[in-house]
Structure 1
């Protein structure tokens, strides 16, 4: 399945509480389950006034539908071309 990086403008994201993050996670999980197609949330990062998410789905339209149903903003969706890290060297 293709992997996507989702950028979300969310003012105050850096200050989200554990309770708020748990609610966002519950909403995302329930929405993913309701799509009826393969969908996997990999991870998310709150930084500054943004949230960056890594999700897997068959296409960008599915990523955007998940966000629409969950009520999450989408600033940009980018298909991940490759993944690398320290072990790549």
Structure 2
């Protein structure tokens, strides 16, 4: 995980300020990454340059949690 994180950060450092990696969730067989990005293409470019699979990219439209119910 450290090597993947280092590679991701190295690629991001060359891409400019319009993409930011927030964090990733690691499961048994997948990794789900959260970004702030100007567009989907930047995320796909990051994946291509880093050699990471990006099987799907979805825009987060809202965030809900326990406080949303109140």
TM superposition score normalised by structure 1? 0.71
Q: Distance in 2 between matches of 1:37 and 1:68?
A: 18
Q: Which has the higher strand share?
A: 1
2:52 is the counterpart of 1:68: no
Deviation at 1:79, TM superposition (A): 0.4
- Could you list the runs of 5+ residues in structure 1 that have no partner in the other structure? 1-20
- Could you list the runs of 5+ residues in structure 2 that have no partner in the other structure? none
Supply the RMSD in Å over aligned alpha carbons.
1.1
Residue matched to 2:34: 54
The structure, 1 or 2, with the larger RCO (C-alpha pairs under 8 Å, 6+ apart) is 1
Deviation at 1:27, TM superposition (A): 0.7
Question: Counterpart of 2:36 in 1: which secondary structure?
Answer: strand
Q: Distance in 2 between matches of 1:78 and 1:37?
A: 20
2:13 counterpart (20, 25, 33): 33
